[in-house]
Structure 1
Amino acid sequence: MYTVCLIWANSEYYNIPSRIIVVLQEICNLFIELTRNFLSPEEVLKGLQGEIEEVLGGIKLGISVIEKLYKTYDVCCTDMMPKFFKGTLGTGK
């Protein structure tokens, strides 16, 4: 998230919200894809065959990773943004 803020604050192309939103969407899509691969339907259905603890651990891990991404984004928006933009808050240069 720190890198995304640096790009938004310093790039001539990505310094407007509509363009940086695309970058954030791609990052979120990457996390969704990685989570889907980690928790494939076949893997989750193993829980129905008696391996519930292993599957439940994977689901909890997936949830914790997504929660950490959200918390990092929140901290970035509330604490780091003013440091990067110093009054302009990403409205362009």
Structure 2
Amino acid sequence: MHRYTPSAVSTVLTYLREYVTKLESTLQQAERVGNAKEAERFRKILVELNEYEHDTLYPLATQQVTIDLDDGVKANYPKFGAALKKIPGLEAPSD
């Protein structure tokens, strides 16, 4: 958390998009050689990644979430919602 900046989620989004591009290329290659099983596996992965980008990562990147290290993990972690794995005990603090 000490290295986090509000643009960090955008950086992750860029890496995700690059990865998706590579997977799409691999999918096309599997389709060209007629490997239907492998092609279907890549299609499922791409659908999941595109949904994650659309529903979770992109909206978070546009928010440019800021954190205050003095607030601690219990206050900052929930700000990232579904983008991070749920950890018991780190629910959003009630005001």
TM over 0.5: no
Structure number with greater CO (CA < 8 Å, separation at least 6) is 1
Superposition TM-score, scaled by structure 2 size = 0.43
